[in-house]
Amino acid sequence: MTNPSHDTDPTTPYVTVTAVCFGALLSYALLNPAIWGDLSLEPFRQGATFLAIAPTWALLAARASKKPLRHLGFTLAWDWAATRGLVLLLPVILYNVWNVTLRGIAVAASAQSPTLSGTLGVAFGTGLVPPLAEELLFRGYALTVLLDGAYAPKRFLGLTSVSWYISVIFLLPHLITVVPGYLFVNLGRFYAGLVYAWIFERTRSLTGPIAAHFLVNLPTALVALVPLLLR
């Protein structure tokens, strides 16, 4: 981690990354219905829109920072820290398996017959979009800027204060989603966000966080495919 010169305002990185993150989220909220109209609630279109918007904001902001992309974690790397991160996420993964299994049973017992596009859209929007789009935005861009720009961030439970800050920012847009086990689901999301940041702090590569995020979301993506198996 590099410390900025003393004539640099330490609040600037926080203002910058907060503006970029919320700019991406606001763009998604505005452009999704503007592009698709009444179809904006269709899962595949939601996922495709966010997959286009979030990385675009991250890449443009990275370009504006005049940092090479490899500096922002755009490299392929894996080490023991990433493996330990996956182990730390096992409680969240197991809870998600249990939670979505109950939802799968409910789907199986339901007389509803979800459409093929809707089913695949949910799997796409939960299994592929968040690991790529959210990691590029929250860890690849935002966390890197804070790690490089904040004054010697304090550590708490093995994480810098900036990682805690980004994990809170990461959690906020998820809080609007009402799901069964709302409290535990969101506590799990916050914990997972901390682990993604922990992995990134130690590897400075997005490979580990993307893989970890994919595994956490995989149970939800798989249960979405249950209706196809029951046809």
pLDDT for the residue numbered 21: 95
Structural contact between residues 218 and 92, judged by C-beta atoms closer than 8 angstroms: no
pLDDT for the residue numbered 152: 58
Distance CA 128, CA 126 (A): 6
8 has pLDDT over 60: no
Helix (H) or strand (E) holding 155: strand 155-156
pLDDT digits (tens, 9 = 90+) for 144-188: 988 887 665 678 888 888 999 999 999 998 886 666 667 888 899
**Band of residue 5 on the pLDDT scale cut at 50, 70, 90:** very low
pLDDT for the residue numbered 75: 77
pLDDT for the residue numbered 110: 57
DSSP 8-state symbol, 160? E
% pLDDT > 90, the chain: 42
11 CB neighbour count, 10 Å cutoff: 10
pLDDT digits (tens, 9 = 90+) for 28-82: 999 999 988 887 778 888 899 999 999 999 999 988 877 777 777 877 778 888 8
One-letter amino acid at 97 equals V
- Compute CA distances 53 → 49, 102, 166, 210, 228, whole Å: 6, 33, 19, 18, 30
pTM of the model: 0.87
41 CB neighbour count, 10 Å cutoff: 11
218 has pLDDT over 70: yes
